[in-house]
Amino acid sequence: MTKDVIALTERMPDIWSLVAGLFAGGPDLDVRSAGEGAVLQMCDEAGRPLVSVEAPLLVRVAGEAARLLGPEAGSTGVPVWWTEARAATGVERAELLAASFARRLARLCGGSVWPSDAAADAEAARPGAGSASAAPAAAQPAVDVLTERTAVVLQDRPVVAMTAWLSDAIRAAAASDRAVQIVTPATSRLSLPTRLSLTGPPSRWVVRDDEGGGYYDGLSGALLRWHDGGFAPVEAEPEHTPVARAFLEGAEDTGERQLALSFRTVQPAEERLVLGGPLEAAWTAVTGGPPEGWSTAEPVNLPWSGEALTALARDRAPASTWVVAVGRADRPAIATLRVERTARGVEQDVTLAFGYGPGEKPPLDVLPDLAATLVTEHRLQSLLVQLRAARRDLSLPARFEPPAVPVGFALGADETQEVGLTFARRTPLPARPVPLGPAARPGFYYPLGDGSSPSSWALFEQLMRHLRQSA
């Protein structure tokens, strides 16, 4: 049984519905607020939390429930209220208590519960005396184990998404100089935002290997063990880390592909500036239309709006703003966008991926025109385009996937001036660069191949060495 249980309801759960659901465990439990009122907690007599419930979220983006919860939630329409309950680790029957809360909420507000087999017997869920564990560290319900070095998060979901809870846990861990390690079964996958949040060891995706009886790193396959307050690679011969067999199995090419774009723009901090324009331009060039929705966490719940994104970023300034955007259910696409105010202006960092199935051809022919639009209208700094053999749904499984292959690289007009126009135009690459924008102050797009050969990495490295020589 999963620790996380979600009520998907037709009507908004008001405070009385939430409290009624929380009292599914019995009148002897205490209901308290946490996280500045954003979280309700069901506590025992000693004040230790048993179940934490996040504030209901109205999801108005079609397909989000199916994307994150699997086919079981495929019939969920929009709008839908998403209310998530998380059971405390080590609490006897706490998972049953969370399930009872979600089922009672679904009955009161009309809807369903994920997972569908979550227990319905509220009486069986009542915890025994003295069964509760200590409160989660730093009031972070997503953290299950906290050591001096590591915050460990246990997840048993089809897709481990960058939920508000997980995002808060990652920020709290970073503030206390701790690594984040997400532990899942081998059947779980990571969403792109969650994958990007794991910036490297000692932060890890830790996968339970049911066949091998141990753990391995879901990104590298390295065998892991619990050591000195965190998961670390199994000691082996120098320069050799053993890899789990489960990570290497089933690594055949299915014909699915992902087109990935990573780029940064820097625009003047003007009152009329509307954020998200570069992201929308790239999305439209590849798919023919803008993103479907955006949010500060997953599930993505708001219809796409550059104006609303701009208002949020202004409210948060001078702090940075991070958001995630998704596409239509029939054309998988997902992006992360970070907005920062710097001495150069307003920087927008975008990581964007599109999914394609067997027989679907990524539109590589639009890339030079897209690069030109970013240079002339959005002050592009740089753009890297890659193609990889990976899942169409853009989630990351706990098994080997071939590395991405570069397709093209673009340099903005300001960066071209820094490199030197002659140097930027004359490169050692076999293909000539495509000039972008005004002839007097152009940027350049450098074709690197069609993504079918890893040799494109050698061309990319050759280009980077060439451009750096001018500095």
User: DSSP string covering 352-383, please?
Assistant: EEEEE-TTPPP-GGGHHHHHHHHHHHH-EEEE
DSSP string, 188-250: -EE-HHHHHH--STTSEEEEEETTTTEEEETTT-BEEEE-SSSEEEPP-STT---B-HHHHTT
Mean pLDDT of the chain: 89
Q: pLDDT band at residue 34, thresholds of 50, 70 and 90?
A: low
75-106: per-residue pLDDT in tens? 899 999 999 999 888 776 788 888 988 999 99
Distance separating the N- and C-terminal Cα atoms of the chain: 57
Pair of tokens at residue 389? 């053999």
Using omega within 30 degrees of 0 as the cis cutoff, is the peptide bond preceding 402 cis? no
Pair of tokens at residue 268? 């003047």
Taking the C-alpha atoms of residue 170 and residue 182, their distance in angstroms, rounded to an integer, is 10
Half-sphere exposure of 460 (CA within 13 A, CB side): 20
Q: pLDDT band at residue 338, thresholds of 50, 70 and 90?
A: very high
pLDDT of residue 96: 85
Residue 292 has pLDDT above 50, yes or no: yes
pTM here is 0.91
Location of structure tokens 């309950």? 85
pLDDT of residue 199: 84
- The neighbour count for residue 228, using CB atoms within 10 Å, is 9
Q: pLDDT band at residue 1, thresholds of 50, 70 and 90?
A: very low
Cβ 48 vs Cβ 75: under 8 Å:
no
pLDDT of residue 213: 83
CA-atom Rg of the chain in angstroms: 24
Instruction: Pick the closest to residue 180 from 165, 161, 201 (CA basis).
Output: 201
Taking the C-alpha atoms of residue 405 and residue 453, their distance in angstroms, rounded to an integer, is 7
Instruction: Pick the closest to residue 65 from 116, 125, 141 (CA basis).
Output: 116
Residues 6 or more apart from 468 whose CB is under 8 A from it?
none
Given phi > 0 = left and psi -120 to 50 = alpha, else beta, which region is 442? Answer: beta
